[in-house]
């Protein structure tokens, strides 16, 4: 081999080494656009959902002052809401933003409105008094502060993660800390998606913009997500990934599919039907815009990994796996509720939990205080304390079965990983004596089958 060839190979190797090192340096920092599904039925504008940005290496000294993260911290979610202490943006650590608790092990297995309100207000009293202080009588204040903590109780969230650098993060910290953090919220021109757009564009200028046609000039979360996906296609050299964060199982109303403005109008019968009667031409224009912009074809869950609060993101539960778990759960419910094989264990447990009082155990994990046969029973509400002793196993079985039934719905199962499902199934098995369990043999066989498929 000639010296020239050797020098060429050396130069190529050095270029490759630079690229690898650059990628390695990027792996620790990222900005994730959060596309949050809508909840409630207030109109087609609210069907656009919410947008926020998660920064993996930016943390909060206070909810309104940013700093670089230390080694053990997991970053913050920065978002804009109206009527939150007069501030334009608020920064909340990732786990509290999603679950209103400090640690992943404290996330409840099954949440209802009373538990969510308890967890949110507890977090507010510990960390957000400066932003949302008590009323004069000491009661919980009104306003939109509650949307800053426990977002995953209300809705499923999709993440579009793109690599950043420490230098970019530092520049953003300096910019936001030195700027006036005063709210001038406007639904059409200065909303949550506008704020997310500005953050992403700070890292990658001119990447995101509003759509005059699809959204009537309004910045929407879905439009921002679509553009970030297109940006990734044009720049495959930049590290990128997609995530889905499941709505926590429970009796809270399930969130709905996120839409753009025109898409929301077109898919809402209470708007499009009267419009078609009054002005068929206008309705036809709406239809043409909807089809032409391709709004209905964008699937935020496509190719998305499932967010894991305690570790790496994982592939979602496969369709065949979901069917197998559904079949086993039906068998369990039939054996446990012989009067009605179609027993809705979610509804039954929701009624029990609604009568309970939420509290914390000695380690700060949520529990449910229930009155059973004249006695107060403390039922662990998280995966870490649900199997504590002294609790009637039927209660624990019902809680875990209710979670499984909620998880295995056709839509929500797209945001559940195989490992999380296996954990919950194991918890259910542990509530029953081995000799009496109708799950043991099938579950063991199922586990072997799943491991074989993944090898």
pLDDT, tens only, 415-431: 899 999 999 999 999 98
Residue 364: count other Cβ atoms within 10 Å of its Cβ. 12
pLDDT score of 46: 61
| Range with lowest mean pLDDT among 35-39, 65-69, 144-148, 209-213 | 209-213
Q: What are the backbone dihedrals phi and psi of residue 142, each rounded to the nearest 5 degrees, phi first?
A: -85, -160
Read off the pLDDT band of 139 (50, 70, 90): very high
Q: Does 361 score more than 60 pLDDT?
A: yes
Q: Are 386 and 361 in contact (CB under 8 A)?
A: no
Q: Which two tokens stand for residue 146?
A: 């509650």
> What separation in angstroms does the CA of 266 have from each of 41, 189, 262, 290, 295?
15, 22, 6, 7, 11
Judged by DSSP in three states, 389 sits in coil
Q: How far is residue 221's CA from residue 295's CA, in Å, rounded to a whole number?
A: 12
Question: What is the torsion angle, in degrees rounded to the nearest 10, for the CA atoms of residue 315, residue 319, residue 324 and residue 327?
Answer: 130
Spatial CA neighbour of 152 closest among 252, 80, 260, 298: 252
Each domain of the chain, given as residue ranges in start order, spans 28-258+300-306, 265-299, 319-454
Which has more pLDDT, 131 or 11? 131
**Which distant-in-sequence residues (6+ apart) come within 8 Å of 278 by Cβ?**
none
Which residues pair with residue 370 across a beta bridge? 377
Residue 140: count other Cβ atoms within 10 Å of its Cβ. 15
Question: What is the torsion angle, in degrees rounded to the nearest 10, for the CA atoms of residue 147, residue 268, residue 217 and residue 187?
Answer: -30
Q: Which two tokens stand for residue 216?
A: 């009537």
pLDDT score of 298: 82
| Distance separating the N- and C-terminal Cα atoms of the chain | 42
Residue 357, Cβ density class (10 Å: 0-12 exposed, 13-18 middle, ≥19 buried): middle
pTM (predicted TM-score): 0.84
What is the pLDDT averaged over residues 161-188?
94
| Range with lowest mean pLDDT among 363-372, 377-386, 405-414 | 405-414
Spatial CA neighbour of 248 closest among 120, 355, 80: 120
What does the DSSP assignment read for 301-321? TTTPEEP-TTS--BPBPPHHH
Q: How far is residue 205's CA from residue 256's CA, in Å, rounded to a whole number?
A: 31
């Amino acid at each position: 081999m000639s010296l020239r060839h050797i020098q060429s190979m050396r130069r190529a190797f050095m270029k490759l080494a630079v690229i690898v090192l650059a990628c390695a340096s990027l792996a620790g920092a990222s900005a994730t656009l959060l596309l949050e599904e809508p909840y409630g039925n207030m109109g087609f504008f609210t069907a656009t959902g919410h947008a926020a940005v998660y920064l993996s290496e930016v943390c909060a000294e206070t909810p309104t002052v940013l700093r670089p993260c230390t080694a053990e911290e997991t970053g913050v979610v920065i978002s804009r809401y109206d009527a939150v202490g007069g501030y334009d943006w608020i920064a909340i650590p990732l786990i509290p933003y999603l679950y209103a608790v400090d640690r992943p092990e404290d996330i409840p297995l099954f949440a209802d409105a009373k538990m969510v309100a308890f967890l949110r207000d507890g977090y507010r009293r510990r960390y957000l008094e400066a932003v949302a202080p008590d009323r004069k009588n000491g009661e919980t204040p009104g306003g939109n502060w509650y949307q800053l903590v426990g977002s995953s109780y209300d809705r499923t969230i999709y993440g579009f993660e793109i690599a950043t650098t420490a230098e970019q993060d530092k520049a953003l910290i300096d910019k936001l800390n030195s700027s006036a953090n005063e709210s001038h919220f406007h639904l059409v021109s200065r909303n949550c998606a506008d704020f997310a757009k500005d953050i992403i564009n700070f890292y990658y200028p001119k990447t995101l913009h509003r759509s005059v046609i699809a959204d009537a000039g309004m910045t929407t979360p879905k439009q921002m997500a679509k553009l970030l996906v297109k940006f990734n296609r044009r720049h495959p050299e930049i590290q990128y990934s997609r995530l889905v964060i499941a709505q926590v199982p429970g009796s809270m109303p399930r969130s709905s599919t996120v839409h753009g403005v025109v898409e929301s109008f077109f898919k809402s019968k209470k708007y499009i039907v009267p419009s078609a009667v009054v002005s068929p031409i206008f309705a036809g224009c709406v239809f043409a815009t909807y089809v032409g912009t391709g709004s209905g074809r964008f699937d935020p869950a496509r190719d998305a990994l499932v967010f894991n609060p305690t570790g790496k993101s994982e592939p979602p539960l496969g369709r065949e796996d979901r069917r197998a778990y559904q079949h086993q759960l039906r068998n369990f419910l039939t054996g446990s509720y012989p009067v009605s094989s179609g027993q809705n264990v979610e509804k039954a447990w929701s009624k029990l939990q609604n009568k309970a009082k939420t509290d914390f155990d000695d380690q700060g994990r949520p529990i449910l205080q229930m009155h059973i046969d004249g006695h107060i029973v403390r039922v662990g509400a998280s995966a870490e304390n649900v199997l504590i002793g002294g609790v009637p196993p039927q209660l624990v079985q019902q809680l875990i079965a209710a979670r499984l039934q909620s998880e295995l719905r056709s839509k929500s199962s797209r945001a559940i990983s195989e490992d999380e499902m296996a954990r919950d199934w194991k918890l259910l098995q542990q509530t029953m004596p081995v000799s009496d369990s109708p799950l043991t043999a099938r579950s063991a066989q199922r586990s072997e089958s799943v491991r074989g498929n993944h090898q």
